[in-house]
Structure 1
Amino acid sequence: MPTLSFEPGPPVIARGQYPSLASKSTVDLYADIPLPGVVIFVHGVNSTGEWFDAAERGLCAGLNERTLRRPEDLRCPVEKTELIPCSYTPELTPNGFRSKDLSGSTFLPTTGHYSPVIRFRWGFRASQKELAAFGGNVFLDEYQSWGGGPFANGCTALPDLWDAGLNDRVFLWYQANALNPTDRPVYACPHRGYFAHAAWRLAALIDHLRQRNEARGHGPDVPVTIVCHSQGNMLSIASAFIGQERFGGKGVADTYVLCNPPYSLKPSNFMENLTQSDQGGRVTGEARREAFRAFLSIVEARGARCQADAAVNKRTANSKPTDESPIGFCRASERANDRINQGRVFLYCNPHDQVISASTVQGIGWRGLDQREIDGLGGPSNFHQRVWADGLAVGQRGLTSYPMWPAGGCKTFWSPPSPQARYSIERDLDDPRASVWGKLGSLLLAPLLIPATTLARMVGLSAINAEPERNRRLPITAPPISDEGVLPKALRMHAGQVLAGPFDEGSESAEDNLATHSAIDDPDDVYNRARGTLGLKAQGDADSEAQLRYEHHARVRMDARASREDTLRDEAEEVRADGHLSERFRQWSDARRAEYLVSGRNQNATDHSTILTNPMHAQAVLAYDIALGYARFTESDWMEFRQMADWRWVGAAETWEPAKEYAAYFKKGQFYKQPLYEHPDYQPNVPATLGIDSRRESAMRPPRPTQPYDSYP
């Protein structure tokens, strides 16, 4: 276990400025109300935490209401009381490149905030071998990194975090992307060790802050809540096993809020088993169930580690009854409202989610758990399910269940209908990643494959998104929040403004992210030209356009690396703010970007991040599912924790012994001078040593070579 080294300076208890008077030897100072705990946000794949700002803003507002920290709730003027969200330094330039002004000391201003939120950032950084093998298959920025790693490399079971990446060969030489109707590329991906690496970092972070709290004289039991989204759920759940086994339980959070998790409890899934054959087949349904049951048990044990009621009341209670209760906010009021959340796991599922409802995924963040599945886990008392659906008041008292199928006898579940897999001979032949022999085979078999996929669509076997069972009903087991609850709304950009609309969004287009007024004063800029010539409907602002450009830069690099044209391959790494590009590359790049905009039109909205991107949801619901107590850290402590939590700035956390080695992964794609796929902590045998059931179904094809980086592409 890493040693703890830091300057022990005491935390500030109270503050004020008063004149020194000989006639008065004492002065009254009002003590600060400490932060109510620690909340760690964990994003998913293909993400830099785009929901972090909104969720932190809403969470702080909701916790101020829950804990009576607003100015109108206080009898005395206290400086450090009301929670104020952090405002981070912008990361992207207007033209979509990474800002060079950011560092481990400048990514967050040191003043102007008072927030319990730590933003955990993670991702994939390509080593030289990984860049050579997979650079033409995955998005990478100018630092050869990508937040959350490739979209296509997500998984649905914990053992996969330590194993090979996606194999895109559906059968014979056919790639999944040739059947892909969406605008998200699907190609072979690198080893998933970066997931396990992030899970280790997360467990180590929690252990470190517990050590720090104990060294500050407040014991190891500072309340920690993890709020994770999408694939962030997988590494967060895995980190609980690591925190239990490798850190003696101190690396386990007290409460987990699982938003849209892809974790699947489906007993079997033919298509997923096919894609997981490199690992020996899909993790069995029984192994998945046992691993999730073990996770719930690990978290439940944290329920006995609450801070003492008297200690919490002494530091945070407020008896001013603004909520019409006789006792205001204290542990007794929290207990009366069933809000002592230590030891609990909350599942936020969204029946409209078109990402984790994919037929190869079918995660519990879409399907939820029905009563039979909950009983199959042993009916755990610490499992609490909230359903986020259009027209359903979340947290409303009296709601007990939700039928997944819409009322009225609908013939299809999805609206708009699910995209259909269809073989595209043009896409197959145009893709430089396909071999010459593969293209020849595609030409020969196209007369058979095209009618076959057409027939599959006609009989309902080609839908990208699965449908739930007709009688599927989800119990709502989380504690009620209010009599009326809150109707969820999705936020969308319209004419540069953020508007609330139906929670089930319908369709969306890439062009929606273009700013209504460009921040780039260049008439030759491809996006400026596109605004006027392609009839694009720009709805965004400067930030959303910068994010779109950032993603398009990565996609251009990927396509250039995969190209069979030497000029394009050689200049792929010149796609950066100070890069030198030939006229040939510029013309090709502009054409590709225009294609990305057009092909991204009228796609089904993913409805995958709608829970956390609306601050009202965090304010009205999430704030009441957080474990509360008190956290007495210094401002320098919080800065260090936030540095540790960000894979880019972990090297700045100098008092943490392994910081230098963790920083090396972002800089070089290595950990202790090894690529992750060679490091002993990230091998397929590790999950079993952590207590993760790793049984698999039988493989359906021979595994990929044991040294994929020497044999791909």
Structure 2
Amino acid sequence: MQQLWNKEGFSRHVLGFDMQHLNTEVERQLNDAPPREYFAHAAQRLANLIDTIREQSLNSVTLLSHSQGTMIALAATLLCKKRPPDAVMLMNSPYALTDKITDALTVGGDRPTDGARLRTLQAVVDKLRPNKQFFNQKRLDCLRVGATKCGQMHFWKPDIVHPCGTPERDNHGRLYNYFNPHDRVMGSTPLQSIGWQGIPGGVLFGMQDVVKQRMLARGTSCGDEPALTPFGTLPRIPDPEPGVLPTDFWNKNKPIAKFGKLWSEPPQDQMVSVNAEKVPHPLTAEEMSTPRKKKVIKVINGKMTTEEVNVYFDEALHTADAWGARKEDGTLNEPDYAYFSSIQQREAWIDRDDVYSPGGKKRELETQEEMQERITNWYPMPPNHSTMPEHVEFMKCVVAYDLPIGYAESYRRDDWYRLMVLADWTSFQDDYFADGKLDVPAKPPGLDPETVSEQQRRADEARIHNGA
């Protein structure tokens, strides 16, 4: 999270080395990125919105975030001047607790230490924890929401135990981490984040009163009783790609230069603590093993053809559409393809016949036309990065039950308008949108600033002091 305040963005070239050489995925060509400070700017805007709501009412506020948005949600929680969100939900988060060689290549010594990463997460947990005491007796007596089951028809209370169902619970003061072992973005070797493998049990032990985890994976129930769950060994792959064993972790992996595999492969005995409570209607292992039908567009002999395939939760390569595929009406199947292809750079080298060259061959960079044909016919590996928020039953039966139940007072139209303007950065109330000026806040308390270079400097000083 410290990198949200970094004045430098991602650089494709590091010490003269082109990082694109490590990238095997055609549809994700690496490019230079602007400074990351916009993330801090966005986090401050979100914190301001939460503070404004707190000024108006006791209404419950939950941050449900996905991917990079989880970093903004965590930073906004630390930036809140008033009571923070009642709960924060992370899906497929890139937050990582360990340092990796790719961090050194891209950030250098300014990257956070393992300790700083852990202490920052702990600070978020500590800030959310007081919300667990939100419901005193007076506030509970004023709450008039819901109706209990089994014919009781009582107002909802967190301590109700149904004679025919799952006990109620108060979800205030919680940080939910929803992770997916099939996420090829979060499970990539450079990341290995908590959105892929969850938070380790040793780390979770001191914060499990606030932090709750759930795993959504093929052939595995979700929302059932808390348990120590296998992570390194998952249920068998139902539709393995050629060369893949049903017992493999990934349904196809790829080598990257000398750095090993593109996607990290955990030890087979790795376990993860799924400690969130049971929901009334958990997703069963059978449900998570059932495929759905999907029509995919393939390119065969230069022609687009459509075929129907079975798609499981962890989508396989053979279920992917050609990247530049077009529908029957001529429109692009992937709308973003037009934008990506317009900036795609030639990079493939082709051996051509040449009677004047030694060996009768010469090696040339592909032409623009050849590059366009190559990427049009490319089949992107399904990233499985958005399969959780797109899983309707998971959202209805599991995530919805994790939301805090609280006040939901109606606002007047002018109050709603004020909040919508604050939330919409395109409303010209935001200096960045209007003038390109970033309002970067100071780093909040709790954001541990320790970097690897500082840690190394202290170690060197200690060694000199001790005469080593």
How high is the TM-score relative to the length of structure 1?
0.52
Q: State the distance in 2 between where 1:261 and 1:162 align.
A: 19
State the partner residue of 1:482.
280
Q: State the distance in 1 between where 2:308 and 2:425 align.
A: 30
Match for 1:331: what amino acid?
K
State the partner residue of 2:53.
209
Equivalences for 1:89-488 in 2 at 5 Å? 157-170=1-14, 172-182=15-25, 183-213=27-57, 221-243=58-80, 247=81, 249-250=82-83, 252-266=84-98, 268-277=99-108, 280-306=109-135, 308-312=139-143, 315-318=144-147, 321=149, 324=150, 326-327=152-153, 330-332=156-158, 337-375=167-205, 378-397=206-225, 399-406=227-234, 413-421=248-256, 453=257, 456=258, 461-482=259-280, 484-486=282-284, 487-488=287-288
CA gap of 1:490–1:404, structure 2 versus 1, over 3 A, is: farther
State the partner residue of 1:612.
389
Q: State the distance in 1 between where 2:308 and 2:151 align.
A: 36
Q: State the distance in 2 between where 1:405 and 1:311 align.
A: 48
In structure 1, stretches of 5+ residues that fail to align are: 1-156, 214-220, 422-452, 521-526, 528-544, 564-587, 652-659, 700-713
Q: CA deviation at 1:632?
A: 1.7
Q: State the distance in 2 between where 1:597 and 1:334 align.
A: 57
* 8 A Cα contact 1:416 1:604, kept in partner: no
* 8 A Cα contact 1:265 1:288, kept in partner: yes
Q: State the distance in 1 between where 2:412 and 2:128 align.
A: 29
Report Cα offsets for 1:490-548 as digits up to 9, x if no partner. Answer: 8775269999842111125353785643266xxxxxx5xxxxxxxxxxxxxxxxx3xx3
Matched, 1:698 2:453: yes
Q: State the distance in 2 between where 1:519 and 1:334 align.
A: 56
Matched, 1:666 2:433: yes
CA gap of 1:334–1:597, structure 2 versus 1, over 3 A, is: farther
Q: CA deviation at 1:311?
A: 1.6
State the partner residue of 2:328.
517
State the partner residue of 2:376.
597
Q: CA deviation at 1:595?
A: 4.0
CA gap of 1:355–1:207, structure 2 versus 1, over 3 A, is: same
* 8 A Cα contact 1:349 1:368, kept in partner: yes
State the partner residue of 1:583.
none
Q: CA deviation at 1:475?
A: 1.0
State the partner residue of 2:299.
none
Residue 316 of structure 1 aligns to a residue in which SS? coil
Report Cα offsets for 1:448-479 as digits up to 9, x if no partner. Answer: xxxxx4xx3xxxx4311112233210111001
Equivalences for 1:623-662 in 2 at 5 Å? 623-634=400-411, 636=413, 637-649=415-427, 651=428, 660=429, 662=430
CA gap of 1:498–1:384, structure 2 versus 1, over 3 A, is: farther
CA gap of 1:641–1:355, structure 2 versus 1, over 3 A, is: same
* 8 A Cα contact 1:257 1:345, kept in partner: yes
Residue 200 of structure 1 aligns to a residue in which SS? helix
Determine what percentage of the aligned residue pairs are the same residue: 23
* 8 A Cα contact 2:236 2:246, kept in partner: no
Report Cα offsets for 1:84-105 as digits up to 9, x if no partner. Answer: xxxxxxxxxxxxxxxxxxxxxx
* 8 A Cα contact 2:324 2:337, kept in partner: no
Q: State the distance in 1 between where 2:178 and 2:194 align.
A: 9
State the partner residue of 1:505.
315
Residue 555 of structure 1 aligns to a residue in which SS? helix
CA gap of 1:513–1:263, structure 2 versus 1, over 3 A, is: same
CA gap of 1:418–1:207, structure 2 versus 1, over 3 A, is: same
State the partner residue of 1:494.
295
User: How many residue pairs were aligned?
Assistant: 407
Match for 2:376: what amino acid?
L
Q: State the distance in 2 between where 1:239 and 1:646 align.
A: 16
CA gap of 1:368–1:690, structure 2 versus 1, over 3 A, is: same
Report Cα offsets for 1:201-241 as digits up to 9, x if no partner. Answer: 1111111122233xxxxxxx211111111111111100011
CA gap of 1:497–1:625, structure 2 versus 1, over 3 A, is: farther
CA gap of 1:240–1:379, structure 2 versus 1, over 3 A, is: closer
Match for 1:518: what amino acid?
D
Match for 1:227: what amino acid?
L
Kindly report the root-mean-square deviation, in angstroms, between the aligned alpha carbons of the 2 structures: 3.3
Q: CA deviation at 1:185?
A: 1.2
* 8 A Cα contact 1:397 1:484, kept in partner: no
Residue 609 of structure 1 aligns to a residue in which SS? coil
Q: State the distance in 2 between where 1:291 and 1:357 align.
A: 22
State the partner residue of 1:63.
none
* 8 A Cα contact 1:384 1:476, kept in partner: yes
Q: CA deviation at 1:167?
A: 2.3
Report Cα offsets for 1:398-448 as digits up to 9, x if no partner. Answer: 644233323689798543222222xxxxxxxxxxxxxxxxxxxxxxxxxxx
Q: CA deviation at 1:598?
A: 1.7
* 8 A Cα contact 2:323 2:376, kept in partner: no
Match for 1:494: what amino acid?
K
Which has more helix, going by share of residues? 1
Q: State the distance in 2 between where 1:361 and 1:223 align.
A: 33
Matched, 1:554 2:339: yes
Residue 475 of structure 1 aligns to a residue in which SS? strand
Match for 2:340: what amino acid?
R
* 8 A Cα contact 2:46 2:76, kept in partner: yes
CA gap of 1:174–1:162, structure 2 versus 1, over 3 A, is: closer
CA gap of 1:556–1:371, structure 2 versus 1, over 3 A, is: closer
In structure 2, stretches of 5+ residues that fail to align are: 238-244, 297-305, 348-366, 455-468
Q: CA deviation at 1:608?
A: 0.8
CA gap of 1:227–1:513, structure 2 versus 1, over 3 A, is: farther
How high is the TM-score relative to the length of structure 2?
0.77
Report Cα offsets for 1:66-97 as digits up to 9, x if no partner. Answer: xxxxxxxxxxxxxxxxxxxxxxxxxxxxxxxx
Q: State the distance in 2 between where 1:632 and 1:397 align.
A: 33
Q: State the distance in 1 between where 2:307 and 2:410 align.
A: 38
CA gap of 1:634–1:398, structure 2 versus 1, over 3 A, is: closer
* 8 A Cα contact 1:338 1:479, kept in partner: no
Residue 53 of structure 2 aligns to a residue in which SS? helix
Q: State the distance in 1 between where 2:135 and 2:7 align.
A: 36
